[in-house]
Structure 1
Amino acid sequence: MSDIAAILFDKDGTLFDFDATWGAWARGVTLDLAGGDATLAGRLAQVIGYDPAAGRFERHSPVIAGTVAEVAELIAAHLPGQSVAALVRDLDAAACRAPQVAAVNLERCLGGLRGAGLRLGVATNDSESSARAQLQREGISGFFDFIAGYDSGFGGKPAPGQLLAFAAQLGVAPAQVAMVGDSLHDMAAARAAGMRAVAVLTGPAPAEVLAPAADVVLPTIDGLAGWLAGR
């Protein structure tokens, strides 16, 4: 019998394949923000660590684990006259429209975990509004008891605020929660909160980077049921 009562998921790179979802978004949003200026769009892509030719993000891209506000601050430095607040609104709006590419069959996976009696949540460094819009559009928001973004009042990862708020809301001990994510920010947040740290490989970070910081590394969240059964 597993000692895990609840699972908290990161969103991008965990529930959704990171490059497949955000590659097209990055190409479009940089061109839009640059007003169609290809040279400026290329500079913005470089700032956010996106390689348009390869269609993927660099391993250390700030988009992978940073908040929308942090990304907006980086971009604002190259767009004179644009405020960070306005860029946050633009990026949030673009994120809400971004087509999501599921990392696995989410309805089957999440439904199985709920059927096993587990409580589920989402903690993302995206905004709460865009996270809710994306999860609702994919038809999976009903699986979650808790959805928090960096702007929900608990802070963002790698700080443990979102994670501890999830445990408190459910009335479970942090040690009974597994935090599942694709980045070192997720693993650091799990450690800081006193939770199990579960890494998945559906984001840009490879196993050799995640393994030293995680309790277990799984190819996708489909491996959670087996991992829990073996505890």
Structure 2
Amino acid sequence: MSSNSSSQKGFIDSAIEVARKFGFDGIDLDWEYPQTQDEMVNFGLLIHQWRAEVEKEADATCRPPLLLSAATYFVVDFFYSDVYRSYPVGLVSENLDWINAMCYDYYGSWDTSTTGAHAALYDPKSNVSTSYGLRSWIKAGFPGKKLIMGLPLYGRSWELKDPMAHGVGAPAVGLGPGELGIMTYSEVEKFNGETNATVVYDSATISMYSVAGTSWIGYDDVRSMTVKILFAQALGLRGYYF
């Protein structure tokens, strides 16, 4: 066994020990994100090693094996990245109890030129959407019963170029209210009340946005969340997480 393999095994054993000590149900892995196809291959090997050690510990202690999950990109492949790569679906399905698809942060502070529905269920102009991402996993052979849809409890804000042009995708010139243009749902509600903001449900993306002057915030509320959860149920997903 190489020194890297030994150190990795030691880390896994330590994580399992901590999970057992504190009565956790399992362990969630979070690699954001493998940057090349070689790293995707390594990701598959990594979760295979984790599964082997989890099963080995369960056999040795006569206890049910810890659950093993991982946070992943919203879509099965990085189709619009400079470096195309895709997840090893077979190994992910074989070795993980489920994946937590990160269906949010499609837009944010890295692009202040336009507003965006950062967790859009649909996008009529591109494939950057929750519906496309989750369906891509299933189309690639990943079982829906192992797929968890991520939902954000925060919004992202921009400063509008023209307060009269305030739809999703409207021209912007910078970040809006909140630290780095991020606001929790309670902060959005407070903003709406204090500024008497105009609140709009965008049926094209299944998202909400609030606008007051040049301040624009895209987020989800009860209405849009309900539609997303119904979508998850119709798709046969295992569930959703915040």
Higher strand share: 2
TM-score (norm 1): 0.26
Higher helix share: 1
Whichever of the two has the greater Rg, that structure is 2
TM-score (norm 2): 0.26
Higher RCO, Cα 8 Å, sep 6+: 1
